[in-house]
């Protein structure tokens, strides 16, 4: 356990030192809210309501993006060349726990990014009228952390699968579509009339993060039922933790 | 005192990549390293040295065989075994997000050292390895030799029973290499058990008390450098590089004082100068043997390119065992 905590400390220390990297996960919410939550309502092109639908979704995107960025690139580079990972494997800690520590560190980092995105977006929208938000703050923290865990586990899985030179294309080929079809820009419940298509969306883990954020940030508005959200996050969290840890062990021990 | 490391019948076959064939990297290696001993694994690239080191450190899972480090089974209890070993890997893998000093103190944390102890130890190791001035530098700003020294300091932070170094001087300039040698000698004097792999004959000769010559996943010979050299047919070696094939071996072997004649594979560089054959004569120390040998070469009409006469080195042991030069 000592080694686990020491690595967690190291990872958070380094994350803090590299804090400007958090911007990577915050860019999307900042830019989208500036345009859709500030500029376009002023021009009368959209109602402020539209932006409020997007706020939780954009939080979900920053959680996902920083979770993936925090693990995917460092891990892919490490496994295929620099081998800094061997220092982790050689410390007195089973490889499975090494993987879990990385997920936990990534989860803390990405949930922080998600939480940071909320006040930034609120600030950027504050001049626009018709603005009402009453987040369930006490619920928010544990839920964001669970979502961060899922995002980091997903990042671990991708990092062990992808070569560094393909990591860039992954963002446009996989994460781009995930974000557009992840119920970030529209609520899942708005598709109630679409039958099985609505359920197809559940193949995308981001949907559950978006709906979880929606349930916490705009609880009075329609969102996926809480038990379904919990199941989705638990399911994908488990699958990616399991797959990521196994792949990680396979890549680190010959 | 029980051995610090016991390796028994170690085998490792890597699963095939894609449609390839399985690679048998280690084919039944056994050796023991005594406590406080400086032991070497000597062999060319691809001989199975790094795989053997990997198995001892649990980064490679053996296909079969037993490895005990300080009586702890590495395969069955890897976490416990990892406390007893430290590795200086072939790849420079210092944590590039930390400073040199943090690399050491964090390593201490991973191994559960108390704050006062890890600070004191980091101080001591930084000054012992002459890295004090670079304590606040990031690893990537250091030269190869400096990074190597930091990796050694890092390895020593948790006071390991056994220090494993995988080709530590590869890629270092001659000066940095000599500096590293003296560091390693000092470590050995202080009682650390060291296992070193290298493909530099001179390095093995200078540092190792005992060594195993490894090729194609097997140990060809095991002993002190002196013992290994003594295993050669004689204490003098006469090499002949020839441009033409001639059935000289038998004739040369008849000369009194020539104890053995061996054919050695010609190197790529040799072929450029037209050398097609290299003969190695193990001779005793008597006078006039060189002239006699040259006379036989002339009589047989062979085209001689050049000759050399020397006392045997570990390189010659390797050539004697494998019939080929150890290429770098």
* A203 close contact with B: CB closer than 8 A: no
Q: Which residues pair with B10 in a beta bridge?
A: B29
Range of weakest confidence among A129-133, B87-91, B220-224, B232-236: A129-133
DSSP A30: H
Predicted TM-score of the model (pTM): 0.82
Is B58 found in the same domain as B190? yes
When pLDDT is cut at 50, 70 and 90, the band that residue B246 belongs to is: low
Give the tens place of pLDDT for each residue, B96-113: 889 999 999 999 999 999
Select from B203, B227, B251 the last residue of a domain. B227
Select from B192, B227, B262 the last residue of a domain. B227
* Interchain pair A9, B112: CB under 8 A: no
Residues of B with CB under 8 A from a CB of A: 14, 51, 54, 57-61, 78-80, 82-83, 86-87, 89, 91, 93-98, 106-107, 109-112, 154
Mean of per-residue pLDDT scores for chain B = 85
What pLDDT does A131 receive?
60
- Nearest chain B Cα to A95, which residue? B79
Residue A1 lies in a domain: no
When pLDDT is cut at 50, 70 and 90, the band that residue B237 belongs to is: confident
Q: Are A86 and A253 in contact (CB under 8 A)?
A: no
Is B264 found in the same domain as B127? no
What pLDDT does B163 receive?
93
When pLDDT is cut at 50, 70 and 90, the band that residue B241 belongs to is: confident
pLDDT higher than threshold 50 for residue B8: yes
Tokens found for residue A212: 């979880």
Residue A14 lies in a domain: no
Domain of residue A88, residue span: 22-252
Q: Are A182 and A61 in contact (CB under 8 A)?
A: yes
Q: Are A182 and A147 in contact (CB under 8 A)?
A: no
Is B150 found in the same domain as B290? no
Is B280 found in the same domain as B222? no
* Chain B residues near residue A94 by CB distance under 8 angstroms: 78-79
What pLDDT does B102 receive?
94
Q: Which residue has the higher pLDDT, B39 or B244?
A: B39
Give the tens place of pLDDT for each residue, A226-240: 898 999 999 999 999
- Nearest chain A Cα to B97, which residue? A14
Is B273 found in the same domain as B126? no
- Could you give the residue ranges of the DSSP H alpha helices within chain A? 2-17, 23-32, 40-43, 48-77, 85-90, 95-125, 137-161, 164-170, 176-180, 196-200, 205-217, 226-252
Q: Which residue has the tokens 């119920």?
A: A183
Rounded CA-CA distance B163/B7 in Å is 15
Closest CB to A254 among B54, B79, B93: B54
Is B68 found in the same domain as B182? yes
Give the tens place of pLDDT for each residue, B285-312: 778 888 888 888 888 878 888 888 888 8
- Which segments of chain A have a pLDDT < 50? none
Closest CB to A253 among B59, B98, B112: B59
* A195 close contact with B: CB closer than 8 A: no
| Share in percent of chain B as helix, strand, coil (round to 5) | 35, 25, 35
Measured at the CA of B319, the angle between CA B316 and CA B324, to 5 degrees, comes to 145
* Reported ipTM: 0.83
CA of B32 to nearest chain A CA: how many angstroms apart?
A: 22
Residue A72 lies in a domain: yes
Mean of per-residue pLDDT scores for chain A = 87
Average pLDDT over residues B101-130: 91
Residue B326 lies in a domain: no
CA of B5 to nearest chain A CA: how many angstroms apart?
A: 17
When pLDDT is cut at 50, 70 and 90, the band that residue B271 belongs to is: low
Residue B261 lies in a domain: yes
* Interchain pair B95, A84: CB under 8 A: yes
What pLDDT does B328 receive?
45
Residue A93 lies in a domain: yes
Query: What is the CB neighbour count within 10 angstroms for residue A62?
Result: 31
Give the tens place of pLDDT for each residue, B12-41: 998 887 777 888 888 989 999 999 999 999
Provide the number of structural domains found in chain A: 1
* Interchain pair A82, B91: CB under 8 A: yes
For chain B, the C-alpha Rg in angstroms (whole number) is 23
What pLDDT does A97 receive?
92
Provide the number of structural domains found in chain B: 2
Domain of residue B289, residue span: 233-311
What pLDDT does B307 receive?
84
- CATH code for position B160: 3.40.50.300
pLDDT higher than threshold 60 for residue B230: yes
Is B195 found in the same domain as B82? yes
Compute, in degrees rounded to 10, the torsion defined by CA atoms A179, A184, A190, A196: 30
- Could you give the residue ranges of the DSSP H alpha helices within chain B? 49-57, 78-84, 100-110, 115-128, 144-156, 174-189, 201-207, 225-230, 248-254, 268-272, 289-299, 314-322
**DSSP letters spanning B70-119:** TTEETTT-HHHHHHHEEEE-SS----TTS-HHHHHHHHHHHTT--HHHHH
* Chain A residues near residue B97 by CB distance under 8 angstroms: 14, 17-18
- CATH code for position B248: 3.30.70.1340
Q: Are B52 and B7 in contact (CB under 8 A)?
A: yes
Residue A32 lies in a domain: yes
Rounded CA-CA distance A168/A73 in Å is 9
Is B291 found in the same domain as B192? no
What pLDDT does B98 receive?
92
């Amino acid at each position: 356990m000592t080694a686990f905590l020491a690595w967690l400390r190291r990872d958070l220390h380094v994350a803090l030192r590299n804090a400007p990297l958090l911007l990577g996960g915050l860019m999307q919410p900042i830019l989208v809210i500036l345009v859709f939550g500030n500029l376009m309502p002023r021009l009368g092109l959209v109602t402020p309501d539209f932006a409020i639908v997007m706020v939780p979704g954009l939080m979900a995107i920053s959680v996902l993006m920083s979770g993936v960025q925090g693990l995917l690139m460092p891990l892919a580079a490490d496994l295929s060349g620099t081998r800094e990972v061997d220092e982790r494997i050689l410390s007195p800690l089973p490889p499975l726990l090494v993987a879990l520590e990385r997920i936990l560190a990534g989860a803390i980092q990405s949930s922080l990014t998600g939480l940071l995105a909320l006040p930034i977006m609120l600030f950027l929208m504050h001049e626009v009228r018709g603005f009402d938000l009453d987040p369930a703050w006490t619920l928010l923290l544990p839920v964001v952390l669970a979502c961060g865990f899922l995002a980091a586990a997903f990042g671990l899985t991708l990092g062990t699968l992808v070569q560094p030179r393909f990591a860039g294309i992954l963002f446009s080929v996989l994460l781009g579509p995930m974000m557009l079809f992840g119920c970030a820009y529209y609520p899942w419940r708005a598709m109630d009339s679409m039958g099985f298509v609505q359920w197809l969306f559940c193949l995308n883990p981001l949907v559950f993060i978006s709906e979880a954020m929606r349930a916490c940030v705009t609880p009075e508005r329609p969102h996926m039922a809480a038990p379904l959200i919990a199941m989705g996050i638990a399911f994908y969290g488990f699958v990616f933790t399991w797959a990521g840890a196994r792949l990680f062990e396979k890549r680190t021990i010959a | 005192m029980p051995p610090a490391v016991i390796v028994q019948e170690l085998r490792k076959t890597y699963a095939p990549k894609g449609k390839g064939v399985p690679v048998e990297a280690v084919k039944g290696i056994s050796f023991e390293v005594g406590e406080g001993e400086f032991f070497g694994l000597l062999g060319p690239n691809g001989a199975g040295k790094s795989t053997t080191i990997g198995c001892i450190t649990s980064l490679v899972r053996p296909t079969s065989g037993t490895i005990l480090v300080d009586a702890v089974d590495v395969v069955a209890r890897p976490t416990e075994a990892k406390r007893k070993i430290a590795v200086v890997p072939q790849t420079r893998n210092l944590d590039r997000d930390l400073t040199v000093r943090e690399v050491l103190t964090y390593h201490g944390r991973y191994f559960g050292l108390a704050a006062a102890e890890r600070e004191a130890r980091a101080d001591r190791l930084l000054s012992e390895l002459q890295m004090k001035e670079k304590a606040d530098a990031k690893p990537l700003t250091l030269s190869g030799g400096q990074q190597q020294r930091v990796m050694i300091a890092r390895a020593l932070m948790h006071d390991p029973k056994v220090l494993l170094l995988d080709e530590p001087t590869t890629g270092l300039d001659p000066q940095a290499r000599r500096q590293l040698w003296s560091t390693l000698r000092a470590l050995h004097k202080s009682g650390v058990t060291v296992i070193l792999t290298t493909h530099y004959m001179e390095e093995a000769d200078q540092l190792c008390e005992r060594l195993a010559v490894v090729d194609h996943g097997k140990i060809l010979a095991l002993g002190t450098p002196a013992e290994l050299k003594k295993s050669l047919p004689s204490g003098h070696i006469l090499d002949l590089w020839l441009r033409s094939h001639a059935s000289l071996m038998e004739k040369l072997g008849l000369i009194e004082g020539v104890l053995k004649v061996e054919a050695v594979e010609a190197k790529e560089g040799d072929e450029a100068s037209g050398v097609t054959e290299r003969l190695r004569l193990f001779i005793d120390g008597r006078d006039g043997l060189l002239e006699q040998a040259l006379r036989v070469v002339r009589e047989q009409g062979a085209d001689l390119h050049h000759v050399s006469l020397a006392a045997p080195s570990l390189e010659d042991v390797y050539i004697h065992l494998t019939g080929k030069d150890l290429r770098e």
